[in-house]
Chains A and B, each alone.
Chain A
Amino acid sequence: MSDTTPIIRMINVSKLFGDFVALDDVSLSVAAGERVVICGPSGSGKSTLIRCINRLEPHDRGRIIVDGLELDEDMANLRSVRQEVGMVFQQFNLFPHLTVLENLTLGPIRVRRMARPAAEALARQYLERVHIPEQADKYPGQLSGGQQQRVAIARALCMEPRIMLFDEPTSALDPEMIKEVLDVMVELAGTGMTMLCVTHEMGFARKVADRMVFMEAGRIVETAPPEAFFTAPASPRARLFLDQVLEH
């Protein structure tokens, strides 16, 4: 980790849903190539935090700067940022009416203005990366959950982003499929991708995280390297949370 300017900077960010404060004065900087794992109890604002980074949720106060571009009303900035930031959702959100290949090429063709043959070659290359090159012509509904989530990862990678956001990517999966998705994510971490990952998979966190972020009630309560976080969490809340998660 070099000490160059961070690729993501969130400065005193707040987000409200009506009167409800979902993010309360959160500040977080992420260096290029850093892998950050975010955990915390349900409803603590983890999803909201990462959804603010590509402005799926516009923030109400504070500043967010991604790869030198400030997130605000400016549509041109927003589109550039979204090209730089890939996102993987808990529910996969693949497009059911398009084949796997069409799911992967839509972004490159419409957003990156690539020609179809080039986009397809790119898509096949990333399907190879997530170990399902043979599924290119199937529809998402014909795949298992684990395969669908790997397609979703490949779809995000086809935009060749510099940052990948994961929002509980394995929470909707049957236990036997979790590993195949985590393996792909570990491999991705090995390529030096900047990753922000909301997950309760503590084994994965130990393996890839450079830093753990623990959230509670819309605030970042604790930030620590994984070893320190898992062996001796500073806050009692994090300790309680870890006891609950690690029990299983």
Chain B
Amino acid sequence: MRGLRKLHWLDWAILALLILLAGYVWLRIDGTLNYKWRWQIIPQFLIRYDEEAGGWVGGTLMVGLFNTIRISIMASLLALILGTILGLARCAQNLTIRLLARTYLEFLRNIPGLVVIFIFYFFLSEQLIAAFRIEDWARDIARGDNAWLWEIFFGDMRRFPSLISGVFVLALFESAFVGEIVRAGIQSVPKGQREAARAMGLSWTDQMRFVVLPQAMRKVVPPLASQFIMLVKDSAIVSLISVQDLTYRTVELVTSTRAIFEAWITTALIYGGLCFGLSLLFRRLEQKPGRRS
């Protein structure tokens, strides 16, 4: 209640305006567009009772959500590896290495994400999957006895190639941002630290491994956490290359049920809840007192 008392009349005015606006939008949809809300059909797409299996199974949106989570985790791990390499390359002594890293970065920065995704998809993922015969390999596993184990990690194994290209494409795309975060972390370590390490005779790798990276990584954790949340949101983009993530499943659901508003609102709430939950979690972890300054 103390919070309420602190509200100024202006706050009330703004709140009232917002409620009016929401009501107006509602009326437009309900009356003018003659839209029939059918919220009751949504729950079955989240979770439903399967007569055949005799138990509860995830509905199409839930399956999509799990795919989104899988892709995000795998892509961020891969992006972390690629990004660290990229960040180190940006600080390398060798000019060619620095230039290559810079070119890659500018390429990703100055081309729309969507275009980058398609380019990576058609030029890289497709080729890699064909070259390594991943299709055949995944089909064999899907038919095999241990399919259930693989499916915990990768979802439906018949869709594995598409999942993997989603992971690749997303990781390549995000590696640029991770690379910049890592580079900023490395450069935030005072010059004297490297000099002291060099003066001792440590090799370049040892200077990085024992002196620079441990200090850089501490600075880099908070921005990396926010980048991870960005990645979860960006992952919706892979629905365009037919990866069956939450967004893709929502598009399908809308096509088959025509419950446009309900489906998209539900999906927005799921994404919002996931990302907000993550940011609360990261904030909590950050506040945990560190060992030292």
Q: Point out residues on A near B: beta carbons under 8 Å.
A: 54, 56, 79, 82-83, 85-87, 89, 91, 93-97, 106-107, 110-111, 139, 141-142, 152, 155-156, 159
Contacts and interface: CB of A to CB of B under 8 A. Distances in A.
A94 B211 CA distance: 10
A95 B206 contact: no
Given A79-B201, A82-B198, A110 B210 contact: yes
Given A97-B214, A110-B210, A141-B292, A82 B192 contact: no
Contact of A93 (B195, B202, B210, B293): B195
Given A56-B195, A95-B193, A141-B293, A111 B202 contact: yes
A111 B201 contact: yes
B280 interface: no
Main SS of the interface on chain B?
helix
Contacts of A94: 196
Contacts of B200: 82, 106-107, 111, 155-156, 159
A96 B216 CA distance: 12
Given A110-B203, A159-B200, 9 more contacts: A82-B200, A97-B218, A106-B202, A107-B201, A110-B202, A111-B200, A141-B293, A155-B200, A159-B201
Most chain A CB inside 10 Å of its own CB: which residue of B200, B218, B293: B200
Contact of B196 (A79, A83, A89): A89
A99 B214 CA distance: 13
Contacts, number: 60
B199 interface: yes
Interface in B108-149: none
Interface in B182-240: 190, 192-193, 195-203, 206, 210-211, 214-215, 218
A159 B292 CA distance: 28
Contacts of A83: 201
A106 B218 CA distance: 20
B199 A56 contact: yes
A93 B192 contact: yes
Q: Chain B CB within 10 Å — which of A83, A107, A155 has the most? A: A107
Contacts of B210: 95, 106, 110
Contacts of A106: 200, 202, 210-211
Contacts of A155: 200
A139 B215 CA distance: 14
